[in-house]
Structure 1
Amino acid sequence: MSGPLAWRHGGEAGAASWMVMDKRIYLLAFVNFSMGLVEMFPAGILSRIAAELSVSVSAAGQMLGLFSLTFAIAAPVLQVLTARFERRRVLMITLAVFAAGTLWGVFAPTFAEQMAARVVPAAAGGLMCGTAFALAAQIAAPAFRGRAIALAAMGISSSIVLGVPLGILVAEEIGWRAMYVLTVVFAALAFVGVWRWLPKVQGSGAVPLSQQLRTLRSAKLLSAHTVTFLLMWGHFAMYAFLAPFMEQVVGLDSRWMSVVYLAFGAAGMTGGFLGGYSSDRWGGVRSVTGAGCALALALALLPFAATSLWLVLPVVMLWGMSAWGSTPSVQHYITSTSPETAGIQLGLNLAALNFGIAMGAAVGGLTLEFVSIRYNPWVGALAVIFGVLVARYSARLPYRRLAVA
């Protein structure tokens, strides 16, 4: 960018706030919002999608897993392939491809075609989202990097706040395919915003993917990415199937399901900000340890709280807050550990996050199919506990500065 998108200070640095950040950062968050909307909305209506496409609920849940797996693989590759090109143009072209791929989902009649229609927007979304996170880390002062990352992540978490319950509502009133149309509208608005407000930004030399992967020879960095993978695995082993759990175990209808998802999403947005704030104040390791322990506790308690909406709702909110609070905490830890490769590590961490989502959806689907959905929360809690242990292990490892070409 022609100049850093810096925090605007009303006084000393300690008075800076994400609320007064350069407005163009919010535009980047909106780009993430568009991507998150199409990725997550099937979560709330799996039973409806499964019935229309004549597949099981666990199979329908893999719509989330395939999107995340494609995202994880495509994001680092596309970042390298497009690194030398002017960034605004790349983002605009990517948004256009994302919109076209999303529109395909409106007309895809079978489950196989629906799965195929998830691949194009997932690949484009990887490039969109990776660029937004990298910029968020670059534009903030070091003392506020955690909150800048959190703001970019809030684009995704806010898409959960609105997207999943909105998907339930739209499915009830119009049909679930209309959510694809709505996503295209948001992508078009993001396209106009990028064209109108972002300046031309010259690309830079790409860091080869092989060189990016070589940074994982550092056990400290590799273990940190493993933390993200395990936490997201545990989170999505349950989240991907929250709707059928609420239907079958708690006995909620679609109206109350929307309330649960709104509560989860609002808690997630709050947790994202608190995760960034606590990382800046107490460090990423302490922050992710606290968030991980809270996440494991919430998942472990979920089956016991499922006897009543009023018992399950606070547990769901603790779950949402801790799940999304862990993301900026780990990313802060990674960027502070290796500031010389911060951009590379954020891209790799985003891939780890989406590999975790895909694994969680796969394992959660198998648990639902062959055991019982009542066990999904406990399967997730075990993965999260391992993630917390790996975080403590990572904190004790030494780190040697990496050379970057």
Structure 2
Amino acid sequence: MSRLSIYLLTVGAFLAVTAELILNGVVDMIAQDFQVSIAIAGQLVTAYALAFAIGAPIVITLTTRFDRKKVMLGALFFFILGNLMSLWSPNFTVLMISRVFLGISGGVYTVVAMSAVSKLVPSEKLGNAMGTFMLGVSASLVLGVPLGVVISGWLSWQMAFGLLAVLSLFIMIGIARVIPSLPGEEATPFKQQISVFRNGKIVNGYFITLFWGAGYSTAFTFLVPFLQETVHMETSAITITMFVLGLFSMIGTRLGGYGADQWGIAKTVYSSLIIHAFALLLLPVITTTVVTAVIMVAIWIGSAWMTSPTLQTYFIQQTPQSPDLALSLNTSVLQIGFAIGAGFGGFIVNATGTVTHTPWVGGCIVILGIVAALFCMQIKRELRKA
């Protein structure tokens, strides 16, 4: 039963994260259908990310004592509702509201499901179970955008959300039948929740997350129109490209975890951020053919996702007794970074009338992450000397 339970929760996480990423591949189609600019359509990413970052933690806090199974079922119900709203959106406003539903419900489900995994398996199998669950999240990075492009090109972008709604319904039924009742926990006092912000090492770590997420999102939100505008890439080629980029995100994630152990957190963070920034700064210059574009974007994506597991390791080291809160807040900060990046990228597109400048702006934002990393590691060195 435990294995089937983990698989159900994992597929649910895959669907939840896919709902966030799927939009990046169809932002141009949505802009055309609703007759809005690409910059405005890109704010759908901002809506999801802000709802995830702000709304999901509030809901999770308010439902801490509730049965975890019921919370997951409730989250999936609203997740299905959000996808159906996206499917039948008569105008852009309704679609924007649906993104808020998806951001909150998808975020609540993902976080609660991750916690549920730890309660469904014995301690000696926890690592393997968490590895399986995170594979679902990683798989969404590989398949989320290309699936959205394929389904949208074959049928319509609306049907991509319709498919998510149908699959989520099956997962909801499976969880209702298979997952046992999982009691809630005592709520974390507010004083304990804000205590992490008194730790300079953690706060600087959050700034790294914020800037790398914002820089990444500034460029990635408008990547499809960027490739279409610079190298005139067609839909079929974009689908393959997005799949390749997903693989590089997985490679980067694995390399970041390996680097944190073998090379140290500081070296891995510095190297990943530096490559990330330079790849974005060089992208508009080097992107003259499809081949050079794919190579440079792959380097960018791979280096970007090296940073995430390294920072997770960093936060665990800083709060070894209770890392959950620090990690949860880091996820919220990352989503806020994504929201800021999508919003700022849209502003740049509106101001310049082109998407070709978004990588340059994104690269400059990532450089701020490097500065934050310098401060972060400096604090660590001073504490060691003390």
TM-score if structure 2 supplies the norm length?
Answer: 0.89
Distance 1:58 1:141 in 2: 47
Amino acid at match of 2:277: A
| 2:166 maps to 1:185 | yes
Match of 1:276 among 257, 278, 285: 257
Distance 1:274 1:192 in 2: 37
| 2:361 maps to 1:375 | no
Q: Tell me what 2:147 maps to.
A: 166
Cα shift at 1:180: 0.8
Q: Pick closer, same or farther for the CA change 1:285–1:24 going to 2, 3 Å.
A: farther
| 2:207 maps to 1:237 | no
Q: Pick closer, same or farther for the CA change 1:330–1:383 going to 2, 3 Å.
A: same
Q: Pick closer, same or farther for the CA change 1:189–1:317 going to 2, 3 Å.
A: farther
Q: Pick closer, same or farther for the CA change 1:190–1:278 going to 2, 3 Å.
A: farther
Q: Tell me what 1:344 maps to.
A: 325
Distance 2:122 2:271 in 1: 24
Match of 1:261 among 228, 242, 262: 242
SS at match of 1:339: coil
SS at match of 2:322: helix
Distance 2:305 2:103 in 1: 20
Cα shift at 1:79: 1.6
1:260–1:316 CA contact under 8 A, matched in 2? no
Q: Tell me what 2:12 maps to.
A: 31
Cα shift at 1:300: 1.8
Distance 2:293 2:201 in 1: 37
Match of 2:375 among 381, 393, 401: 393
Q: Tell me what 1:403 maps to.
A: none
| 2:276 maps to 1:290 | no
1:219–1:397 CA contact under 8 A, matched in 2? yes
Amino acid at match of 2:360: W
Distance 1:252 1:391 in 2: 36
Cα shift at 1:388: 2.2
Match of 1:333 among 311, 314, 317: 314
Q: Pick closer, same or farther for the CA change 1:290–1:27 going to 2, 3 Å.
A: farther
Is the deviation greater in 209-218 or in 193-202?
Answer: 193-202
Is the deviation greater in 382-391 or in 282-291?
Answer: 282-291
Structure 1 residues 139-188: Cα deviation after superposition (integer angstroms, max 9, x where no partner): 8999x98x987765543342232221221222222111001111113323
Q: Tell me what 1:13 maps to.
A: none
1:150–1:328 CA contact under 8 A, matched in 2? no
Structure 1 residues 224-279: Cα deviation after superposition (integer angstroms, max 9, x where no partner): 11111110100010000001101111111111111221111111122222222332
TM-score if structure 1 supplies the norm length?
Answer: 0.86
Q: Pick closer, same or farther for the CA change 1:292–1:29 going to 2, 3 Å.
A: farther
Q: Pick closer, same or farther for the CA change 1:210–1:174 going to 2, 3 Å.
A: farther
Q: Tell me what 1:19 maps to.
A: none
Distance 1:215 1:303 in 2: 39
2:56–2:104 CA contact under 8 A, matched in 1? yes
Structure 1 residues 333-376: Cα deviation after superposition (integer angstroms, max 9, x where no partner): 11111122311111101100100000000111111111242221
1:80–1:208 CA contact under 8 A, matched in 2? no
Q: What is the number of residues matched between the two proteins? A: 378
SS at match of 2:357: helix
Q: Pick closer, same or farther for the CA change 1:140–1:362 going to 2, 3 Å.
A: farther
Distance 2:358 2:168 in 1: 33
Q: Pick closer, same or farther for the CA change 1:140–1:185 going to 2, 3 Å.
A: same
Q: Tell me what 2:305 maps to.
A: 324
1:149–1:276 CA contact under 8 A, matched in 2? no
Percent identity over the alignment? 30
SS at match of 1:49: helix
| 2:329 maps to 1:361 | no
2:72–2:113 CA contact under 8 A, matched in 1? no
SS at match of 1:238: helix
Q: Pick closer, same or farther for the CA change 1:338–1:148 going to 2, 3 Å.
A: farther
Q: Tell me what 1:120 maps to.
A: 101
2:116–2:182 CA contact under 8 A, matched in 1? no
Give the CA RMSD over aligned residues: 2.7
Distance 1:202 1:277 in 2: 35
1:134–1:347 CA contact under 8 A, matched in 2? no
Amino acid at match of 1:168: V
Q: Pick closer, same or farther for the CA change 1:280–1:78 going to 2, 3 Å.
A: farther
1:38–1:179 CA contact under 8 A, matched in 2? no
